[in-house]
Amino acid sequence: MHADPINLLGLDAPALTQLVGQWGGKPFRARQLQRWVHQRGVSQFDEMTDLAREFRAQLGQHCVVQAPTVLTQQRSTDGTRKWLFDVGQGNAIESVFIPEDDRGTLCISSQAGCNVGCRFCSTGHQGFNRNLTTAEIIGQLWFAKNVLMQDAGSARLEAAGNVQVGNAPAGHALASPDPRAISNVVMMGMGEPLLNYEPVLAAVRLMLDDNAYGLSRRRVTVSTSGVVPMMDRLSQDCPVALAVSLHAPNDALRDQLVPLNKKYPLVELLAACERYLEFAPRDFITFEYVMLDGVNDTDQHARELIQIARRVRCKLNLIPFNPFPGSGLLRSPANRIRAFSQQLMDAGIVTTVRKTRGDDIDAACGQLAGEVKDRTRLREKLTMKTSIPIKEIRP
């Protein structure tokens, strides 16, 4: 084995074609290889039976197919599943699968920690260590897909009366998976995706590739706290569905909740949203808005949100806050969330309240923390800030 093998999970179609071409292989060989790795979930080259023996030997000498190692996996009472992945040097990231009647959504991470430091986010309170590689990002999808395929195959065997259900062969997923097991991927896990742009872009392109995961642009969502220049780049490079972590309807409050707002204030963020819509696969931006008791949930805040929604075609996704130690924040009461939502809907704004899923295993929105060796002192700074109560601020 080469001292530093190439992880094929990190190569999009052009990079894989280039690699195979260096060995004299035709582009169709790269497509075959891509299907074996991503569609069939095979990691052992000798199982890729329609590839030439010599080509398989080259792959075995120079390459690997390796997802991050799973440290723990948990299953919620509502069916939500969470995996903790080891990404080295004491860092671990989390991914969450949320099954629903009509879809299966996988929420994946893009960084070990996050340096944006939003007040209401558990990941931000962990600090930041490093960006993830494309292989580490796509590896979360590769692993989750294989696990769900194996589960589906096991369930079919059990239903057929075959009680002796063994594990799938090493590196090989069971055949005939439920194609809807993972129908949607959202980059809403740990980290700010647009601050890790190139690896995220390569991962998104693999998600869309018909020889890999074959997802539509409408079913891949990148969530951002508002990195305006990278929003513009994404609109040109690979426009997928976009979710913007808004969380406050004015600059004074958003400066406190989402510190990135000081660099890219609302006037710039909303203009970037309007530009993105010209290329987006959907005709709206999703604005995420965490509901914080006495902080951003008043009637006045709702009126300000309505003004934003009338400027930018959007859907508002209200998220009941999921408390975590040290946040110093509380979830808005259910009746306040209902009244806030109704005020928006009465104004003709498409509004949903996100159903809390997986909170019994800390897999709900804003709760992903993993394990991060903070090298930014961000955790320390946030700890100092949380001793200062947030006051309701109006423009």
Grouping H, G, I as helix, E, B as strand and the rest as coil, residue 360 is helix
Domain identity same for 58 and 82: no
Q: Is residue 109 part of a domain?
A: yes
Clarify whether 94 is annotated catalytic: yes
pTM of the predicted model as reported, rounded to 2 decimal places: 0.87
How far apart CA 5 and CA 1 sit, in angstroms, is: 7
Instruction: Express each pLDDT in 209-245 by its tens digit.
Output: 999 999 999 999 999 999 999 999 999 999 999 999 9
pLDDT, one tens digit per residue, over 140-196 is: 999 999 999 887 656 555 555 654 444 444 444 434 445 458 999 999 999 999 999
Closest CA to 48 of 145, 172, 174: 172
**Stretch among 37-51, 120-134, 167-181, 183-197 having the lowest mean pLDDT:** 167-181
Residue 306 lies inside a defined structural domain of this protein = yes
Which phi and psi angles does 376 have, rounded to 5°? -120, -5
- 241 & 205 share domain: yes
Is 365 among the catalytic positions? Answer: yes
- Does residue 392 sit within a domain? no
**Residue span of the structural domain in which 19 resides:** 6-64
Close Cβ partners of 351 (under 8 Å, ≥ 6 residues apart): 315, 316, 317, 318, 341, 344, 345
391: in domain: no
Average pLDDT over residues 342-346: 98
Indicate the Cα dihedral angle 189, 193, 198, 201, nearest 10°: 70
CATH number, domain of 140, equals 3.20.20.70
Kindly report the length of the chain.
Answer: 395
Cα 162 to Cα 150, 173, 342, distances in angstroms: 15, 18, 51
What's the pLDDT at 166?
A: 41
| Among 114, 121, 314, 365, the one annotated catalytic | 365
Is 393 inside any structural domain? no
203 lies in the same domain as 57 = no
Last residue of a domain, one of 49, 64, 79: 64
Residues 108 and 19 in one domain: no
Domain containing residue 46: CATH number:
1.10.150.530
Considering the domain architecture, whether residues 240 and 186 belong to the same structural domain is answered as: yes
Q: What is the pLDDT of residue 390?
A: 53
Q: What is the total count of domains within the chain? A: 2
Q: Which of 47, 63, 94, 288 is catalytic?
A: 94
Which of the two residues, 365 and 395, has the higher pLDDT score? 365
- The predicted structure's pLDDT at residue 120: 87
- The three-point CA angle 242-245-251 to 5° equals 125
Q: What is the DSSP letter of 137?
A: H
